[in-house]
Structure 1
Amino acid sequence: MTSNNSLRPLTAGILAAGLVLAAGVLSYALTASVQEFRSFDRVVEVKGLAEREVAADTAIWPLKVVRAGNSQQTIYEELDADIKAIQTFLLNNGFSQDDISIAAPNVLDKLAERWATEDVGLRYTGEQTLTVYTNQVDNVRALRQRLSELGKQGVSLSGNAYETQVEYHFNGLNAIKPSMIEESARNAREVALRFAEHSNSELGKIRSANQGQFSIYDRDSNTPHLKIVRVVSTVEYQLVD
């Protein structure tokens, strides 16, 4: 029969070996966790740009006529004649009636104003605006160079450049979005690869990505019918040894 005293050294030895093994496993696990954490913490954030130059596909062209006189009836008649002349000019040059909208005339009696005095000059001033909304952008640009033809007919067009400025818009963004997003992401990856190469690392998985917003603006002040579409993607990559 084996006594308890003889088993004690053996039990103590097994316990000690177990503790050593457990300590080794724990040490390895902690080391691996720290290395994994450090690897996960090594990241690079890069931005990828995609730009396209596009032509506007929609034009909004206001044509404003103004008149002044001492007869309210005459003002209305002159505004009506001017608008009809502009409408005929547009219809004869490729636009349709669906492209044209006409606002109501606005006639002001200066003597009815609170600040009015007897010496107001011409008593009545009137204005009316015809607006062209069309996808014939090139036709708008061409006809704007021929507005003197209306002036020769006696049409009193407003000389206010701001109020009669043509607005050019690009509405085809959805058609080019996928390819631009792909391009910006590809550019971001190229930047990240160069960074990893210079830091003696390899590019790992994507940790996060942000597409960013699309912006559309004039290429320059002299060519508002040409637009720049731009998007910047931000991507965060993990770096590994």
Structure 2
Amino acid sequence: MERSLTLPALILGAGITLGLGFIGHSISDTVTNLKALDRTVSVKGLAEKEVMANIAIWPIRFNEVSNDLPALYDTVQQKSDKVVAFLKQQGFSDEEISLSLPAIEDRTAQGYSDPNLKYRYLAKVTVSLYTPKVDKLLEARKQIAALAREGIAIGGNEYESRPEFMYTELNNIKPAMVQEATQNAREVAEKFAKDSNSSLGKIKNASQGQFIITDRDSNSPHIKNVRIVSTVTYYLSD
């Protein structure tokens, strides 16, 4: 004989059914929300700025030859003093000028003698200028011919003798450039969201790229181009 279901059993069964339905609905909502969170867009924001170098290093090189070593040292000293005097006339101080010991080469000490060799000793001299007065250095370079009138031929190849310009005040412009790069990224993301009929949400993550400092061009190494690219990922919603 079949047993009829009691009221408590019916209530229990109904509760289980409703509970399973609620769980299924909750899982469905959770999956939908997770899919919504997966909708993101990653964009890059660029910021660039031109700045003037604030430090300059200028190696002024010249050579001197002689067959008399003591006389060579005397000549090197005299011409080095003239180079230093020239730099002081251009407005540079003793603290900005340094003189290295001359490199003396005995060209007959190679184990053989060149019959066409006229001078035995060769002295290579470098007077270095390290200064924050970049404008004064640029002007001094235009007056370098004055040393030729003193009998000093500035030598060395272009790479060795050209001034080096540096920008060391990056921390002063970092905050503004990071803000500009982030704003640029947001503008790109907003354009993408609009084109895809979406709305731009909060930032999921962001990374700041490295600051890169380069010469603006080969003819103006004293003018630097500072560049940063930031990457930002935003959530998208309907």
Give the alignment's TM-score, normalised by structure 2.
Answer: 0.95
Alignment equivalent of 1:224, drawn from 200, 221, 224: 221
Q: Which amino acid aligns with 2:38?
A: D
Q: How far did 1:36 drift?
A: 1.0
Q: Which amino acid aligns with 1:164?
A: S
Q: How far did 1:77 drift?
A: 1.4
Alignment equivalent of 2:95, drawn from 95, 98, 101: 98
**SS state at 2:65 partner:** strand
Aligned residues: 235
1:76-155 maps to which residues of 2 (within 5 A)?
Answer: 76-114=73-111, 116-119=112-115, 120-155=117-152
Q: How far did 1:159 drift?
A: 4.3
Q: Which amino acid aligns with 1:179?
A: A
1:215 and 2:208 are equivalent in the alignment: no
Alignment match, 2:182: 185
**SS state at 2:6 partner:** helix
CA contact (8 A) 2:56 2:133 kept: yes
Q: How far did 1:12 drift?
A: 2.8
Distance 2:113 2:6 in 1: 122
Q: Which amino acid aligns with 1:200?
A: N
Alignment equivalent of 1:237, drawn from 209, 214, 234: 234
CA contact (8 A) 2:62 2:156 kept: no
Q: Which stretches of structure 1, 4 residues or more, deviate above 4 A after TM superposition? A: none
Give the alignment's TM-score, normalised by structure 1.
Answer: 0.94
Distance 1:29 1:109 in 2: 91
Distance 2:79 2:170 in 1: 38
Q: How far did 1:141 drift?
A: 0.7
1:26 and 2:23 are equivalent in the alignment: yes
CA contact (8 A) 2:62 2:155 kept: yes
**SS state at 2:197 partner:** coil
Distance 1:118 1:180 in 2: 61
Alignment equivalent of 1:161, drawn from 158, 162, 167: 158
Give ranges in structure 1 of 5+ residues lacking alignment: none
1:63-78 maps to which residues of 2 (within 5 A)?
Answer: 63-78=60-75
Distance 2:184 2:114 in 1: 71
Give ranges in structure 2 of 5+ residues lacking alignment: none
**SS state at 1:190 partner:** helix
Report the aligned-residue RMSD.
1.3
CA contact (8 A) 1:62 1:166 kept: yes
Deviation sequence 1:133-160 (CA, Å, 0-9, x none): 0011011111111111110111132142
CA contact (8 A) 1:82 1:156 kept: no
Q: Percent identity?
A: 42
**SS state at 2:220 partner:** coil
Alignment match, 1:52: 49
Deviation sequence 1:81-106 (CA, Å, 0-9, x none): 11100111111221000110110111
**SS state at 1:61 partner:** strand
Q: Which amino acid aligns with 2:90?
A: N
Distance 2:34 2:156 in 1: 69
Q: Which amino acid aligns with 1:181?
A: V
